[in-house]
């Protein structure tokens, strides 16, 4: 009597591999997402900190000039961080006389998006007080 030969192969089916792959991806994607978000946030924070320090510095210089020289005219050369645009504006304060509101607007580009930060301060304006117009 002829023997009936039978060969058994152990292995994964295509469906099993695909399902395992999908489960692996489901676990991996949030981890990769978290890491890239953390890098993005660190970069954003760094730019924002630079902008805050820059704006505060400009406002302090305006306050210094107004109190020491009675004028907000810029007097000192500055080496400002690159990648920031600065815009200084002023208006009179509605609630009190002889008070000006100075606003510094710092803009920068961040991942192709324009970001901005505005800080303001109050400065007293005397009759002989000179305001920069630029």
Partner 1 sequence: MYSDVRKAFTLVEILIGVSIFAVLSLGIYQVTRTFGKGATESLKATSSQQDIAQAFLLMRKELFWSTNLLFPPLKVHSPRLEVRSRDEKVKYLFEEGKLSRSVGDKKRTLVQGLKEFHFYRLDSKLLEIQLHTSKDFLSTRIFLENLGKMP
Which positions lie near partner 1, rule CB under 8 A? 3-10, 32, 35, 38-39, 41-43, 45-46, 49-50, 52-54, 56-58, 60-61, 63-64, 67-68, 75-76, 78-82
The 84-92 sheet, strands edge to edge: 84-92, 99-110, 113-124
Q: How far apart are the first and last CA of the chain?
A: 107
Rounded to 5°, angle at Cα 18 from 14 and 22: 170
Q: Nearest-CA neighbor of 96 among 64, 123, 131?
A: 123
Least distance CB 48 / partner 1 (angstroms): 9
Query: Of 78 and 94, which CB lies nearer to partner 1 in the complex structure?
Result: 78
Least distance CB 9 / partner 1 (angstroms): 7
Query: Of 41 and 98, which CB lies nearer to partner 1 in the complex structure?
Result: 41
- Cα 100 from Cα 120, distance rounded (Å): 10
Check if the beta carbon of residue 103 is closer than 8 Å to that of residue 119: yes
- Cα 97 from Cα 13, distance rounded (Å): 83
Query: Of 7 and 94, which CB lies nearer to partner 1 in the complex structure?
Result: 7
Query: Of 80 and 89, which CB lies nearer to partner 1 in the complex structure?
Result: 80
Least distance CB 14 / partner 1 (angstroms): 17
Least distance CB 42 / partner 1 (angstroms): 4
């Amino acid at each position: 009597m002829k023997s009936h030969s039978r060969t058994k192969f152990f292995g994964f089916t295509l469906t099993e591999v695909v399902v395992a792959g999908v489960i692996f991806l489901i676990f991996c994607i949030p981890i990769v997402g978290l890491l890239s978000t953390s890098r993005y946030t660190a970069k954003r924070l760094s730019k924002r900190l630079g902008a805050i320090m820059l704006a505060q510095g400009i406002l302090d210089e305006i306050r210094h000039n107004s109190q020491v020289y009675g004028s907000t005219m810029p007097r000192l050369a500055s080496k400002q961080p690159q990648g920031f645009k600065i815009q200084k504006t002023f208006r009179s304060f509605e609630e009190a006389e002889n008070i000006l509101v100075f606003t510094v607007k710092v803009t920068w580009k961040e991942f192709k998006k324009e970001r901005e930060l505005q800080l303001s301060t109050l400065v007293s304006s005397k009759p002989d007080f000179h305001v920069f117009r630029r």
